[in-house]
Amino acid sequence: MSARPDPSVRNAPPGAVDVVLIGTGVAPLVAAKGLLEAGKSVLLLNPDFDYFREQSELPLHPFPGGDAPNGLKRWLRSDHEQALEALRPEFPGAVEFWSSQIQKTGASSGYRDRHAPHVRQRSRLMISPRVSSGKRDPDLEACFIEASDAGMVPQLLEGIQAWSKFPGFSARGGTARVGAEYRGLWMPRGCDFDVARYRNGIQEFVRERAGESSIFCAVSNIELFDEGIRYHSPSGVRTTRVNEGVLAYWTPRLTPWIEQWIGKTGTSRMPRPEGVRLYEEWSLVSKEELDPEIQGVFEGMTVWAECEGVPEAPHRLAVLRPGEVRRMGDTSEDWVGAESFQAVNRLCREFLLWEKFTIRAMRPRMILEWKEARPFRLDAGGRFAAWVVCPADGPLSDVVYSARESVALCTGTGP
């Protein structure tokens, strides 16, 4: 997964560097890999103590909220082929693919690395929330029309045929559904990614190639000036001359600095986030072995068998629950409330028919919501170009694609 340092790649002379990458998460690391391979020297600045503390990458495309523009279309068309196309070129090693057909038939083409990051193909099963007789769920109907138009051959399922296929459903709980109706929409295309394996492999590669002296965490007071960049590191104040450009990757953690830079430079006509979407990623323990072939959607929550690599008798159920959209600048840290527990309880007890459930972990996420997102240049007026890259968080495949495109801004091939 890692690579030995290439002696042909020059180290930056003290006090000078070609490109500075500012941000947290996998985006600046992916861009650094591309720049290093292009022969550029890089300096990475991270305001956090750890690159992945912010948890800014999602393991799949979540079911979109009703206020997400074009979100349904993006969710439907996100599949394993697009993910592999985005992830494989940027990873310094193998990115493997898993599907139930490969596992059942034993089909294989050459050596397969079971410890590499995997993209897993799973069908999607969207279950309509409980509705009274004669009514239809608008989200399910909209999905059916969009999926049909996209040539995905969706199928509508009724009653037990629908909910018995949902990941985590317990046959031990019985099948009685007094006065309730469930409808399902099955679609053959969907996928999820090994986020942790992917970003750890990228980080290891960049550390070996760039060297520890080119990576600073826990930095503060980053300032741009005509000749370069000034910042506070744990070892003191540093100033670095910039030869070609600065790339800042906009995530919630970087928002205060980017807003400050925009205000100082007077930059205008740039995209701005609509707000910050809160996500809760729950990890629950199932007594029964889970079906790894299907992603389920129930009341906006995406549910799947949690695993890394090849699914082997999974017993952890992952639940990604979208929360509210907060305005920019809202720093309150109240996450899980009564509504969160009630939603998970409805899923487990009322729908999956679990007698009781155990919560293994809950990981909160904050992801920027964009109506329009594209890189924009800060009007800094210096001898180098300073760009803000967005989006830089969200589904891993989208983050990697955005980071790859940002490299072109500092290699002469971008706009």
Q: Is the torsion defined by CA of 332, 297, 182, 312 positive or negative? A: negative
Quick one: pLDDT at residue 70?
60
In terms of residues, how long is the chain? 415
Supply 94's token pair: 């193998």
| pLDDT tens for the chain, residues 1 to 415 | 434 444 334 444 457 999 999 999 999 999 999 999 999 999 999 999 999 999 999 999 998 865 454 677 788 888 899 999 999 999 999 999 999 877 666 655 567 888 999 999 999 999 876 555 555 566 778 888 888 887 888 998 887 778 888 998 876 655 555 335 688 899 988 999 999 999 999 999 999 999 989 999 999 999 988 888 999 999 899 999 999 999 999 999 999 889 888 888 777 778 889 899 989 999 999 888 888 999 999 988 999 999 999 998 889 999 999 988 888 766 556 666 788 899 999 999 888 888 888 999 999 899 999 888 889 988 766 788 899 999 999 999 999 999 999 998 877 654 4
Quick one: pLDDT at residue 75?
85
Taking the CB of residue 281, how many other CB atoms lie within 10 A of it? 19
Cα gap 327→135, rounded to integer Å: 34
- On whether the CB atoms of residues 297 and 124 are closer than 8 A, the answer is yes
Fold match flag (16-55+196-273+371-410 vs 60-108+116-193+275-369): no
- Give the β-pairing of 316-326 and 301-305: antiparallel
Q: Does domain 16-55+196-273+371-410 have CATH number 3.50.50.60?
A: yes
**Which of 103, 125, 143 has the alpha carbon at shortest distance from 188?**
125
Quick one: pLDDT at residue 333?
60
Quick one: pLDDT at residue 180?
53
Inter-CA distances, 371 with 16, 53, 69, 73, 122, Å:
37, 26, 6, 14, 28
Amino acid at 8: S
- On whether the CB atoms of residues 389 and 249 are closer than 8 A, the answer is yes
Quick one: pLDDT at residue 27?
97
Quick one: pLDDT at residue 5?
41
Quick one: pLDDT at residue 69?
46
β partners of residue 295: 124
The structural architecture, per CATH, of the domain 60-108+116-193+275-369 is 2-Layer Sandwich (3.30)
Quick one: pLDDT at residue 384?
87
Inter-CA distances, 326 with 164, 192, 331, 369, Å:
36, 26, 9, 10
Query: What SS3 state is found at 269?
Result: coil
Taking the CB of residue 134, how many other CB atoms lie within 10 A of it? 6
CB neighbour class for 254 (10 Å; exposed up to 12, middle 13-18, buried from 19): buried
Taking the CB of residue 333, how many other CB atoms lie within 10 A of it? 7
Supply 259's token pair: 């807003």
In three state form, how does the secondary structure of the chain look? CCCCCCCCCCCCCCCEEEEEEECCCHHHHHHHHHHHHCCCCEEEEECCCCCCCCCCEECCCCCCCCCCCCHHHHHHHCCHHHHHHHHHHHCCCCCEEECHHHHHHCCCCCCCCCCCCEEEECEEEEECCCCCCCCCCHHHHHHHHHHHHCCCCCEEEECHHHHCCCCCCCHHHCCCCCCCCCEEEEECCCEEECHHHHHHHHHHHHHHHHCHHHEEECCEEEEECCCEEEEEECCEEEEEEEEEEEEEECCHHHHHHHHHHHHHHCCCCCCCCCEEEEEEEEEEECCCCCCCCEEEEECCEEEEECCCCCCCCCCEEEEEEEEEEECCCCCCCCCCCHHHHHHHHHHHHHHCCCCCCEEEEEEEEEEEECCCCCCEECCCCCCCEEEEECCCCEEHHHHHHHHHHHHHHHCCCCC
The residues spanned by each domain of the chain are 16-55+196-273+371-410, 60-108+116-193+275-369
- Give the β-pairing of 236-249 and 385-389: parallel
